[in-house]
Amino acid sequence: MSFEALGLHATIVKAVTESGYTVPTPVQEQAVPAAIAGRDLLVSSQTGSGKTAAFMLPALHKLVSADVVAAPAQDASRGRNERVRFTAAKPKMLVLTPTRELALQVTTATEKYGSYMRRIRAVSILGGMPYPKQMQLLSKNPEILVATPGRLIDHMESGKIDFSELEILVLDEADRMLDMGFIDDIEKIVAATPAGRQTMLFSATLDGVVGNMARRITKDPMVIQIASNSNRHENISQRVHFVDDLSHKNRLLDHLLRDESMDQAVVFTATKRDADTIADRLNIAGFAAAALHGDMHQGARNRTLDSLRRGQVRVLVATDVAARGIDVPTITHVVNYDLPKFPEDYVHRIGRTGRAGRNGLAISLVNHAEGMNIKRIERFTKQLIPVNVVEGFEPKRSAAPARSGARPGGWKPGDGRSAAAKPGQRSFSKPSAAPREGGYSRDAAPRGPSTGAPRREGSGGGYRGTNPRSADGSRRSFGDN
């Protein structure tokens, strides 16, 4: 299956080919033709499976085919009485995303996929961006808006955006937006758009609250669920290292980051403060490290991510929210300095490595009291995470005897060997032990370590194509390797 065969306009095929994509991913294969045909879509597929192009390519196709030309740029021009006059922007397409980083990524991808389409403009409307800058962007009357819900509402309420001509609405990572409490904003935004719009919703799960909303805002949607049970993060080796105390943890972190197979790493901390402290400490130790968290200004966050992409930052120390959606293929290591609060965040964290068909290594530094948290993650991912011991960094207390599989060192990028233990070694079928199997009611119950985490499906893995390995075991290349 080729991108031409999906029915996409030649300019789009050209841009996609230049991006190094040779074949559509499974989700693209299903979503693109349906979206071109005008269907509403409800899509769940794993992180890294190429969902951005799955909605953006057909959208661009529709915009270019309809030869949509927005009204001329509506410069905020000065009237006679010196008052700035501003006509509301009338976008044709709106993409809602949970975070600023994700919105910027979608905008960048749109520019890439639409690079041969002259008249299409895409802009991000984000919290944290200076207001005059946003007004300037909106005054160009862009065809495509990519926005986080909160800031968009501000602009809608002050009459800066008019959705009466909107044709396509996309909710990206809808489950996450609901997690972040955006449901009222989303409802308000959807209500302001024409009933005849095309709606595409992407989410790790289509159960529960997200599913209810999804069905309310779509018409006769085509439901696309790309099974991921068989290929959850198989290109990412996962390990647990037990540590005795903070000093042991810090020494081990330093050691792991000096691994010669380490190209770039993301280290996750529980708090913004720790992200800053550890980044400082690593810098002093000679690593090119930088922190990324929600207290930083947008400009600083963007600069840090740019430096990461350019390879100037080798170790990013980040909190969960800030790191969501980071897509830098050269990240070889993810280190959980602190375990995430919720098992689904573990899946998102480790998905920062092993992007675009590469291999990755995800290491969790765990003190002995956190054994239960690891078990919860294992139940959630239905995978065992082997315990490893590095020579010279052995914990004083040995790990639980059931946990075998310790295998010091050994992982090299590209060796394709998964350290995951064989399934069936331990059973996950005890429903009483599993936190709310199958249930999904995160709005009803406050989440916390003690409440158990809602289960989410289909958020594991990264796109590696349907046949990631050829017979000789080498990885299929996506061109940007």
- Position 69: which residue type? V
How far apart are alpha carbons 154 and 149 in whole angstroms? 9
Q: Which position among 26, 50, 149, 454 is part of the footprint of ligand ADP (CB under 6 A)? A: 50
**End-to-end Cα separation, the chain, in angstroms:** 21
Specify the pairing of strand 198-202 against strand 222-225.
Answer: unpaired
Stretch that binds ligand ADP, among 48-56, 123-131, 218-226, 264-272 (CB under 6 A): 48-56
Minimum distance from residue 145 beta carbon to ligand ADP (Å): 18
**Interaction mask 8-47, Mg ion, x per CB under 5 A:** ----------------------------------------
Stretch that binds ligand ADP, among 21-29, 75-83, 315-323, 467-475 (CB under 6 A): 21-29
Choose between 50 and 114: whose C-beta lies nearer to ligand ADP.
Answer: 50
Residue 48, binding choice from ligand ADP, Mg ion, none, Cβ under 5 to 8 Å by partner class? ligand ADP
Minimum distance from residue 357 beta carbon to ligand ADP (Å): 7
Which is nearest to 353 in space by CA: 318, 327, 324, 322?
327
Residue 327, binding choice from ligand ADP, Mg ion, none, Cβ under 5 to 8 Å by partner class? ligand ADP
Q: Which position among 13, 41, 42, 52 is part of the footprint of ligand ADP (CB under 6 A)? A: 52
Which is nearest to 278 in space by CA: 289, 286, 294, 262?
289
How far apart are alpha carbons 473 and 416 in whole angstroms? 8
Stretch that binds ligand ADP, among 19-27, 204-212, 273-281, 376-384 (CB under 6 A): 19-27
Task: State the CB neighbour count (10 A cutoff) for residue 471.
Answer: 6
CA 400 from centroid of its chain's CA atoms = 33
**Interaction mask 334-353, ligand ADP, x per CB under 6 A:** --------------------
**DSSP states of 259-309 as a string?**
-TT-SEEEEE-SSHHHHHHHHHHHHHTT--EEEE-TTS-HHHHHHHHHHHH
Minimum distance from residue 465 beta carbon to Mg ion (Å): 17
Does 51 interact with ligand ADP (rule: CB under 6 A)?
Answer: yes
CA angle centred on 248, ends 247 and 252, rounded to 5°: 115
Residue 478, binding choice from Mg ion, ligand ADP, none, Cβ under 5 to 8 Å by partner class? ligand ADP
Choose between 139 and 459: whose C-beta lies nearer to Mg ion.
Answer: 459
Is 358 exposed, middle or buried (CB count within 10 Å of its CB: 0-12, 13-18, 19+)?
Answer: buried
CB under 8 Å to 97, separation ≥6 — which residues?
Answer: 103, 106, 146, 147, 148, 172, 173, 177
Q: Helices 183-191 and 208-217, interaxial angle, to 10°?
A: 10
Residue 203, binding choice from Mg ion, ligand ADP, none, Cβ under 5 to 8 Å by partner class? none
3-state secondary structure of 109: helix
Phi-psi region of 262 (alpha: psi -120 to 50; beta: other; left: phi over 0): beta
Choose between 51 and 61: whose C-beta lies nearer to Mg ion.
Answer: 51
Q: Which position among 30, 32, 50, 51 is part of the footprint of Mg ion (CB under 5 A)? A: 51
Does 356 interact with ligand ADP (rule: CB under 6 A)?
Answer: yes
Binding residues among 101-160 for Mg ion as defined by CB under 5 A: none
The DSSP secondary-structure symbol of 114 reads T
Minimum distance from residue 403 beta carbon to ligand ADP (Å): 31
Binding residues among 90-119 for ligand ADP as defined by CB under 6 A: none
Minimum distance from residue 51 beta carbon to Mg ion (Å): 5
Choose between 299 and 479: whose C-beta lies nearer to ligand ADP.
Answer: 479
CA angle centred on 218, ends 8 and 177, rounded to 5°: 95
Stretch that binds ligand ADP, among 46-54, 61-69, 276-284, 391-399 (CB under 6 A): 46-54
Binding residues among 229-288 for ligand ADP as defined by CB under 6 A: none
- Position 238: which residue type? Q
Place of tokens 């926005």: 147
Minimum distance from residue 29 beta carbon to ligand ADP (Å): 9
Is 392 exposed, middle or buried (CB count within 10 Å of its CB: 0-12, 13-18, 19+)?
Answer: exposed
**DSSP states of 144-209 as a string?**
EEEE-HHHHHHHHHTT-B--TT--EEEETTHHHHHHTT-HHHHHHHHHTS-TT-EEEEE-S--SHH
Minimum distance from residue 478 beta carbon to ligand ADP (Å): 4
Minimum distance from residue 224 beta carbon to ligand ADP (Å): 12
Count of residues near ligand ADP by CB under 6 A: 16
Q: Which residue is nearest to Mg ion (CB)?
A: 51
Which residues would be at the binding site for Mg ion (CB under 5 A)?
51
Residues that bind ligand ADP (CB under 6 A): 21, 24-25, 28, 47-53, 327, 355-356, 463, 478
